[in-house]
Structure 1
Amino acid sequence: MAPRVPRDVEQEYPTAEVVAKLRRLADALETEKPFRIQIAGERIRVPAHATFSIEHERGDGEEEIEFQLKWKLDDDSDEDEDDSESDDEDSEDSDSGSADDAADKAVV
């Protein structure tokens, strides 16, 4: 397995794609199964035991809500479990330059 490179990406999607991703995520959370998602061209596997949080930020004339899933990079103990459906496909990539710390973060 290739080493994981630090990454901090924000990707915009059409509403229909967001709805589909959220439905698959909700199904995976409800059934306590791992979840696979493709964000800006990279396939990401979210383990079933990932921590889910909702974040709200306000400042500089705008507000933001983020749905976050976090887990430790070495915490893939449920690797052999079935993943929720197939990966999503992206049509456009948008990378930013800063790195994320010790946990993967999938903002869906």
Structure 2
Amino acid sequence: MKSPRDVEKTYPNHEFVEKLRRLADAIENGEKFEIQIAGERIYVPVRAEFSIEHEREGDSEEIEFQIKWTNN
């Protein structure tokens, strides 16, 4: 079993765009998505669920593109 992890990594715009494009291509083609985040390679299965979350608190707003799955 993998250890718990909660990491947030900031990327320069061009790297973020590249990752989004690869994700969109994988979703469109029905393929798994692979990404490395803070030194760990993550394999997102085709069965993953995608959602978009919006949060607002005071003057701060946030949009999160979320990808969730369980490892069976």
- TM-score normalised by structure 2 residue count: 0.95
Q: Is the 8 A contact 1:35 1:47 kept in 2?
A: yes
Structure 2 CA distance for aligned equivalents of residues 34 and 55 of structure 1: 22
Q: Quote the residue 1:63 is aligned against.
A: 61
Structural mapping, 1:1-108, within 5 Å = 3-74=1-72
Count the aligned residue pairs: 72
1:64-84, CA deviations, whole angstroms, 9 ceiling, x for partnerless residues? 00101100122xxxxxxxxxx
Gaps of 5+ in 1: 75-108
Structure 1 CA distance for aligned equivalents of residues 58 and 11 of structure 2: 24
Deviation at 1:61, TM superposition (A): 2.1
Segments of 4+ in structure 1 off by > 3 A? none
Structure 2 CA distance for aligned equivalents of residues 38 and 60 of structure 1: 33
What letter corresponds to residue 32 of structure 2 in structure 1?
Answer: P
Structure 1 CA distance for aligned equivalents of residues 6 and 12 of structure 2: 20
What letter corresponds to residue 41 of structure 1 in structure 2?
Answer: G
Higher relative contact order (CA 8 A, sep 6+): 1
1:50-103, CA deviations, whole angstroms, 9 ceiling, x for partnerless residues? 0000110001420000101100122xxxxxxxxxxxxxxxxxxxxxxxxxxxxx
Identity over aligned residues, as a percent?
Answer: 62
